Amino acid sequence: MSLWFVLALMTAAAVFAVLWPLGRSPRLRGGDEAAIYKDQLAEIARDQSAGLISAEDAAAAELEISRRLLSSAKADSDVPAASHLYVRRTVAVLALVGLPLLAGALYLRQGSPTLEDVPLAARATVPPASASLETLVAQVETHLEKNPKDGRGWEVLAPVLLKLGRADDAVRAWRNSLQYNGETAARRADLGEAIAAAAGGVITAEANTEFEHALALDPNEVKARHFTAVAAQQDGRSEQARAIWRDMLTKAPENAPWRPLVVRALAQLGGVAPELPGDVAAASKDMTPTQRAEMIGGMVERLATRLKQNGDDVEGWLRLVRAYLVLGQTDKAKQAIADARQATGNSPDRLRALNDALKDLGLEG
């Protein structure tokens, strides 16, 4: 409230300083000039009496001074009337009061008087909503140049750099995060991923070392296990890669966000999982491989039969597609996708949910 009062005083002072001359009456100089001219006429008469100037020069000077005296008298008669002065002062007062009121009304209509103030220090740390990702990254990098031991900053920046394709910078950021935040299996795995990305997706010896460190800290670290399987695939050890991915799927929760990635990797490799998620592993632990395969095949076929009779179950269709992919039966997976879309075609919501889930599995076609 005190700020508004100060601003109002400043506005009034500024307007008053500009309009004050409008309210003042003009300075009347005619009387002063007439007295001066009369003194000059008397001085000419004294000079003529003293013989300092001739009669002709005295007459010419008196004529000129008399002309000026008449002009001064005329100016006195041209001074504005009191009514004009009243009008000018009224306009000045109206401007003094009206301009601030008009400005305030415009601000209340177009401005944001209820918007909370943002302290100057906070403005440097709160980026504008319209700032691009690259701009925000540049701001964080500037901050880290001044505060290189800010481990939290390095950990936040590293995955963003990797997403932007700046793999070498991401490697540096993850190394700093490890240095200042401490060693964890997740950070080691993230560093290995960045090193592999910097090498064009190849799991180098340096990257593999990081994955091994991660698994030594946590044998179930998902990212490290996945990239270990990728490394085995790249080295031609396909069976080892299949074994790792199968084991991951067996232990994975049904809603694990990384599950579609592993399913795709195993399907591309032509891997056949000996178990499906859920209670199948426990039920088949004492079976021979042949018995287990028969049991899994029977479950999949029963699911397919049920869905043909009742095709509204979107989750059921997704389970069937995943099962065919894990079993390496790609053609059946494609046919199941076509059947699912046909069965859910009469419900836009179900069809949309199905397509979104298939997209997550990398099966958009």
pLDDT digits (tens, 9 = 90+) for 337-358: 888 888 888 888 888 888 887 7
H or E element that contains 338: helix 330-343
- pLDDT of 126: 46
* Pair (94, 150) in one structural domain: no
- In this structure, of 26-30, 56-60, 133-137, 360-364, the range with the lowest mean pLDDT score is 26-30
Spatial neighbors of 324 by CB under 8 A, at least 6 apart, are 300, 330, 332, 333, 336
User: Does residue 69 belong to any structural domain of this protein?
Assistant: yes
- pLDDT of 285: 52
**Mean pLDDT of the 269-293 span:** 52
DSSP string, 67-130: HHHHHHHHHHHTSPPHHHHHHHHHHHHHHHHHHHHHHHHHHHHHS-TTSPP--HHHHTTS--TT
Total domain count for the chain?
3
* Angstrom distance (rounded) from CA 361 to CA 289: 28
Residue 216 has pLDDT above 60, yes or no: yes
Question: What CATH number is attached to the domain comprising 187?
Answer: 1.25.40.10
* Pair (194, 278) in one structural domain: no
* Pair (177, 267) in one structural domain: no
* Angstrom distance (rounded) from CA 66 to CA 56: 15
- In this structure, of 18-27, 116-125, 198-207, 289-298, the range with the lowest mean pLDDT score is 116-125
* Pair (36, 103) in one structural domain: yes
User: What range does the domain containing 81 cover?
Assistant: 2-110
User: Does residue 242 belong to any structural domain of this protein?
Assistant: no
* Angstrom distance (rounded) from CA 365 to CA 184: 39
Residue 289 has pLDDT above 80, yes or no: no
User: Does residue 243 belong to any structural domain of this protein?
Assistant: no
* Pair (333, 268) in one structural domain: yes
* Angstrom distance (rounded) from CA 267 to CA 280: 20
DSSP string, 8-46: HHHHHHHHHHHHHHHHSPPP--HHHHHHHHHHHHHHHHH
Q: pLDDT by residue (tens digit) across 27-77?
A: 444 455 667 767 777 777 777 777 777 777 777 777 777 777 676 655 555
DSSP string, 178-189: HHHH---HHHHH
Phi-psi region of 236 (alpha: psi -120 to 50; beta: other; left: phi over 0): left
* Pair (153, 207) in one structural domain: yes
The mean of the pLDDT values for the chain is 76
- pLDDT of 45: 75
* Angstrom distance (rounded) from CA 37 to CA 50: 20
DSSP 3-state assignment of 47?
Answer: helix
**Mean pLDDT of the 74-85 span:** 53
- pLDDT of 75: 56
pTM to 2 decimals?
0.46
Residue 272 has pLDDT above 50, yes or no: no
